[in-house]
Amino acid sequence: MNNSLAEAFKHATYYLSGHSKRNVRVLKQALTAIDDEQASDMYGRGEVIENFQAKMANYLGKEAAVFFPSGTMAQQIALRIWCDKKGIKRVAYHPLSHLEIHEEDGLKKLHQIETILIADETRVIELEDVVSLGKDIACLLLELPQREIGGQLPEYQTLEAISTYCGDNNIKLHLDGARLLEILPFYQKSAAEICGLFDSVYLSFYKGIGGIAGAILAGDQVFTEQSKIWKRRHGGDIISLYPYIISADHYFEQRKDNMAEYYHQAKELALAFNDCRKSATTPVMPTSNMFHVHFSAAREKLEPILSSICLETGIGITGYLKSTSNQTCSFEVSIGDRYQQIPKDLLQKGFKLLDERLGKIE
């Protein structure tokens, strides 16, 4: 990362992405809204955790839910349970699944589960990919939205068809719904309606929701009881999880009804990037509050431009750029509370400067 870009971004007044700086204030604000005499949870028991689990199970339309300290732990456990149930240690998911590229092969090393990568990494999984697997699997994991390709989503009819196929062929269907709330405006469905297509569901509380950490794993009663046993085996059943639960609940309530606005703003912002020379988004029209921005220019040429715009306008477009080739680079946008704080005239000025300066790159 270019030091000047990182430093300029750090001191920006306004930001395109996110809700707020990730500091201790995130927890302090959540704690101010509760009774400080409320009892802590103890090893997975107590009102603070049990009430929240029941609330999330109801929201997701599932029999039960279990709170985990991390989504990595929750999802590996979900897939292990389904493999054990069928007696086949084989699952399938997208080549750019979080389990495949961000977890140091935890599923394979800890659980000896074989993975089949399906679909081209540039697109989402379609029904044809599932039908043509060629090997029996215990579980198929679908990530909605597919983060590493800009938050792309399949058509809802595709989800229904995959769900039906899996049910007919004794394949469990698991939802990597880390950003589940963010896709509800696109599908125009409730969380329970979408989760009804899946046997198990994972939801993150620090990504789009903005809590400090934590995840929910939901499914039927037998599944969730088994997940509690595996949670202890993984060391996730620590004495107290209430700081994570309280912040998860606080920001869930604060932001769950804002997702349609974030989605609208993402589409507005994507149009602005696509109107600039040498700039394009994936997808062209976002399907959630997130998308990727691609520049037809080398990172070392872009970093001074973004730094200068930040210094002149106070707008932090991004604090990093990822080189995708010698002459291209990209970054990710995820709309939250911060975007609406940017004055519209200042935002227009920032994009005017961006377009002009991109146009001067040879």
Phi, psi for residue 39 in degrees, rounded to 5: -70, 145
CB 38 within 8 A of CB 48: yes
CATH number at residue 322: 3.90.1150.10
Asked whether the predicted pLDDT for residue 304 surpasses 60, the reply is yes
- pLDDT tens column, 54-104: 999 999 999 999 999 999 999 999 999 999 999 999 999 999 999 999 999
- The identity of residue 333, as a single letter, is V
Share the mean pLDDT of the chain.
96
Whether residues 282 and 321 share a domain: the answer is yes
* Terminal C-alpha separation, the chain: 22
Whether residues 269 and 170 share a domain: the answer is no
Whether residues 195 and 328 share a domain: the answer is no
pTM above 0.85, yes or no: yes
Omega of the bond leading into 343 within 30 degrees of 0 (cis): no
Quick check: helix, strand or coil at residue 333? strand
Residue spans of alpha helices (H) in 132-220: 156-168, 180-187, 191-195
Selection from 224, 213, 218, 144 nearest residue 178 by Cα: 144
Whether residues 204 and 283 share a domain: the answer is no
Whether residues 144 and 207 share a domain: the answer is yes
pLDDT mean over 41-55: 96
Calpha distance 3→5 (Å, rounded): 5
- pLDDT tens column, 337-352: 999 999 999 999 999 9
Q: What is the pLDDT of residue 3?
A: 61
- pLDDT tens column, 104-161: 999 999 999 999 999 999 999 999 999 999 999 999 999 999 999 999 999 999 999 9
CB 19 within 8 A of CB 212: no
Last residue of a domain, one of 239, 270, 304: 239
Asked whether the predicted pLDDT for residue 229 surpasses 70, the reply is yes
Least confident of 1-5, 213-217, 239-243: 1-5
- The identity of residue 41, as a single letter, is D
Calpha distance 105→361 (Å, rounded): 41
Q: pLDDT band for position 359 (50/70/90)?
A: very high
Selection from 269, 324, 271 nearest residue 302 by Cα: 324
CB 216 within 8 A of CB 188: no
How many folded domains does the chain comprise? 2
Whether residues 133 and 220 share a domain: the answer is yes
Domain membership of residue 250 (yes or no) is no
DSSP3 helix / strand / coil % (the chain, rounded to 5): 45, 20, 35
Selection from 118, 119, 107 nearest residue 83 by Cα: 107
> pLDDT over 90 for what percent of the chain?
93
Asked whether the predicted pLDDT for residue 253 surpasses 90, the reply is yes
CA–centroid distance for 298 within its chain? 27
Kindly give the pairing relationship between strand 328-334 and strand 322-325.
antiparallel
Calpha distance 205→248 (Å, rounded): 5
Domain membership of residue 252 (yes or no) is no
Q: Distances in Å between the alpha carbon of 301 and those of 81, 163, 296, 327, 359?
A: 49, 46, 10, 9, 12
Please give the residue range of the domain that contains residue 144. 41-239
Selection from 65, 107, 302 nearest residue 200 by Cα: 65
